[in-house]
Structure 1
């Protein structure tokens, strides 16, 4: 906050941002980017977990205004120190548009989310981290929010298994799932859905019997990158909670210096 000059009243300080701009050019997005803020998010097993989110907050600026009030974005963010859910995230969108007097606005929130996993044989417990994002847009009072999660998994090449006498090459893959839902869905539900469709899921910690198990499980469940996205899409098509989705898979190839990639996008509400 900038203090008023000695002898000047605060209400006399010029509001330059609200002054008229004569260039007649609207700005699609203006705001703050890459601001870190502590948040609490719902956790299926623990009730909630504390994490640090990276926020981007933007509004549309009409052609006749010189600038927006950047401090108001931070003020709004500081008002939402309580548990973040899809509902409260949408409330934040609405308040941002109202406070900034904007017809349209966007908020993006990305944070690490931790899940306690149990190794399949030894039972040893460890944490796995996933990148989760909430992305919201509002225009003329109508808001849309999507939840996105990046799920690292193992994929084993069906072709390599078929043609090789000894083993098959596999790789770590990132499956990115973004959904728009009509009711509450746990982040863990999305993670579980993806991991069940992979050659094998990942764990933070494995003992030797666990390593044997996951190696053999991947060998018994080969997946092309095309298989990965089709399997996940099939499950989402059958889930009535999901209105729209985008599923992407990037396989970081172990025998090539490039990735394999596939994407499926669908709006189940479209007629």
Structure 2
């Protein structure tokens, strides 16, 4: 059969990224407590296309995904990136895998268990020289109490739920759960899926004893990551979904800014 994609293109324009985007696919990820966890990912895969190639072979991207059904790991990322370069005759390849990661979390007083889901993304790319770059991102919901509101109010203070997003590059393997816990410790309080009244009391009082601006949260997370020799690069952002304002509060800091 005639292969139109393999024909020559005369427009002389290379393409930076071509491939598939937002494919939902079952994957297996490592779980610190259970060993492995089955989840469903949103996967995007791209390669570069030379100036004289008409198109890439889209079906080959999907054919390679069986590796992620076995296990999403540093090894599987490196293998599939190399396969993408080889099978698609490309110089560069890139993958984004976004998935919900579930952690059983007990309420602070009653110890009632509940499942928390955290959105995680692992991005990988490979250069023409064969160098692999991996970036892990996790989004962690938190609670914050406004220090200013607490200071000026006779009764109470305004609180909000927020989202902390952390991206890291690293030297060796680390557990997602460990990064999540590190982030949660930097907020006024972490959040839970199941809380009894005794737990609500404990969480509320803990948060009010520990008021935080978004600026405080990103600085505390950044300091924690800066002290970790396994982390080679990071970016931290915090967004508070304000309860008394018609806007969110936002702050961001990266490891580059600490070197400036």
Q: TM-score, normalised by structure 2?
A: 0.97
CA RMSD across the alignment: 1.4
Work out whether residues 246 and 264 of structure 1, in 8 Å CA contact, stay in contact via their aligned partners in 2.
yes
Match of 1:190 among 179, 184, 209: 179
1:71 aligns with 2:73: no
Q: 2:67, 2:76 within 8 Å by CA — same for their partners in 1?
A: no
Distance between the aligned counterparts of 1:191 and 1:162, measured in 2? 29
Instruction: For structure 2, list consecutive stretches of 5 or more residues without a partner in the other structure.
Output: none
Structure-1 separation of matches of 2:176 and 2:249: 26
- Does residue 233 (structure 1) correspond to residue 222 (structure 2)? The answer is yes
Q: Secondary structure at the match of 1:81?
A: helix
* Higher-Rg member (1/2): 1
- Identify the residue that residue 18 of structure 1 maps to in structure 2: 6
Alignment-derived partner of residue 223 in structure 1: 212
Distance of aligned partners of 1:147 and 1:219 in 2 relative to their CA distance in 1, 3 Å threshold:
same
Q: TM-score, normalised by structure 1?
A: 0.93
Residues 144-173 of structure 1, C-alpha deviations (whole Å, 9 max, x = no match): 011110000001111001111101101011
CA distance in 1, matches of 2:222, 2:62: 38
Matched, 1:133 2:124: no
2:107 paired residue number: 119
Distance 1:81 1:170 in 2: 41
| Matches for 1:129-208 after TM superposition, within 5 Å | 129-140=117-128, 141-208=130-197
Indicate whether 1:44 and 2:32 are aligned.
yes
1:251 and 2:244 are equivalent in the alignment: no
Which consecutive aligned stretches of 4+ in structure 1 deviate over 4 angstroms post-superposition? none
- The number of equivalent residue pairs is 258
> How far did 1:48 drift?
0.8
